[in-house]
């Protein structure tokens, strides 16, 4: 699964470097389409994906969630403004194996320190969750580690959407909740691959689906969200990040 993970990581790294004030979400989408089309064996996990939490098939190559949008952001004709908080979530299969990863960052120079604090909290929660993804630990150890970091920073946690098993399909079992109880749940074994993906909103745990596209999930109170995700393998030597951004 390493080639798929590295491919996803490299695209996110490039997108973070090249996304500027004025970049259109559809340009980002088109860049991902071109990268996928130029890589033999690569296929989008998003195009035509039609799970029960979306309305009809997804029609783009990447999720772009801006400001009060946090998950499943459908790209549309929007040019990024100075200070926008952008989340990019990308899943691609390469030779039949999936990599899934997400990154949040602020575009331009008008950076609100509160946005950076929120982003850092999701990154810290991701690191804490990964640190618990040890053989012999349980899923609840990962979940509680994530929830503890959110609590320490005063952010509420939504439990409807979280991490998941990854393999030949993007969304497999087990579900990896962003909060839980240590020492409970499925036992982690070498060979298990999961996506760990803390995402938090500043002042609410409630979301709604944007009726304009039937996909984008936004905060109920308009507060901004951030999201950090890696696909990791549990090995005899501990967790290994597959979606490295090199
Ligand atoms: Mg995911």
Interval between CA 65 and ligand 1 midpoint (Å): 14
For ligand 1, an ion, list residues with CB under 5 A: 100, 195, 197
Full residue range of the structural domain in which residue 111 is found: 2-241
Whether residue 186 lies inside any domain: the answer is yes
pLDDT tens for residues 176-230? 999 999 999 999 999 999 999 999 999 999 999 999 999 999 999 999 999 999 9
Interval between CA 5 and ligand 1 midpoint (Å): 12
Interval between CA 228 and ligand 1 midpoint (Å): 10
Tokens found for residue 105: 């960052």
Whether residue 228 lies inside any domain: the answer is yes
pLDDT tens for residues 140-174? 999 999 999 999 999 999 999 999 999 999 999 99
d(CA 231, CA 217): 22
Interval between CA 158 and ligand 1 midpoint (Å): 15
Q: What is the mean pLDDT of residues 12-16?
A: 98
What pairs with residue 232 in β-bridges? 194, 241
How crowded is residue 107: how many other Cβ atoms within 10 Å of its Cβ? 20
Q: Which residues of 26-56 are buried (b: 16+ CB within 10 A; e: fewer)?
A: eebbebbeebbeeeeebbbbbeebeeeebee
Q: What is the mean pLDDT of residues 60-75?
A: 98
Whether residue 120 lies inside any domain: the answer is yes
Residue 59 contacts residue 47 (beta carbons within 8 Å): yes
Task: Output the domain CATH number for residue 91.
Answer: 3.90.230.10
Interval between CA 159 and ligand 1 midpoint (Å): 14
Interval between CA 109 and ligand 1 midpoint (Å): 29
Interval between CA 17 and ligand 1 midpoint (Å): 22
pLDDT tens for residues 101-142? 999 999 999 999 999 999 999 999 999 999 999 999 999 999
Q: If DSSP codes are grouped into helix, strand and coil, which group holds residue 241?
A: strand
**To the nearest 10°, the Cα dihedral for 114, 17, 38, 32?**
30
Interval between CA 194 and ligand 1 midpoint (Å): 9
Residues comprising the chain, all counted: 246
Interval between CA 70 and ligand 1 midpoint (Å): 13
Whether residue 246 lies inside any domain: the answer is no
Domain count, the chain: 1
Element (H, E) at 143: helix 139-153
Distance of CA 87 to the CA centre of its chain: 8
Interval between CA 27 and ligand 1 midpoint (Å): 22
**In the chain, at which residue ranges do the beta strands (DSSP E only) sit?**
42-44, 63-66, 69-71, 85-94, 97-106, 163-165, 172-176, 193-196, 199-201, 207-209, 217-219, 225-227, 230-235, 238-241
């Amino acid at each position: 699964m390493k080639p798929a993970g590295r491919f996803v990581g490299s695209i996110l790294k490039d997108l973070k470097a090249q996304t500027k004030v004025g970049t259109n979400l559809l340009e980002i989408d088109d860049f991902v389409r071109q990268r996928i089309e130029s890589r033999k064996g690569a296929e989008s996990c998003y195009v035509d994906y039609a799970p029960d939490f979306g309305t009809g098939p997804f029609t783009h190559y990447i999720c772009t969630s801006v400001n009060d949008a946090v998950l499943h952001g459908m790209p549309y004709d929007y040019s990024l403004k100075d200070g926008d908080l952008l989340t990019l979530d990308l899943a691609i299969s390469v030779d039949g194996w999936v990599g899934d990863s997400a990154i949040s960052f602020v575009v331009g120079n008008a950076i609100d320190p509160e946005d950076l604090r929120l982003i850092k909290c999701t990154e810290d929660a991701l690191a804490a969750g990964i640190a618990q993804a040890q053989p012999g630990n349980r899923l609840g150890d990962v979940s509680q580690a994530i929830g503890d970091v959110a609590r320490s920073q005063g952010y509420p946690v939504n439990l409807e959407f979280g991490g998941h098993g990854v393999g030949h399909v993007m969304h497999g079992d087990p579900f990896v909740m962003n909060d839980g109880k240590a020492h409970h749940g499925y036992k982690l074994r070498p060979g298990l691959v999961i996506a760990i993906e803390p995402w938090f909103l500043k002042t609410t745990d409630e979301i709604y689906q944007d009726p304009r596209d039937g996909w984008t999930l936004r905060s109920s109170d308009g507060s901004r969200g951030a999201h950090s995700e890696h696909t990791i393998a549990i090995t005899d030597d501990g967790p290994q990040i597959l979606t490295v951004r090199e």
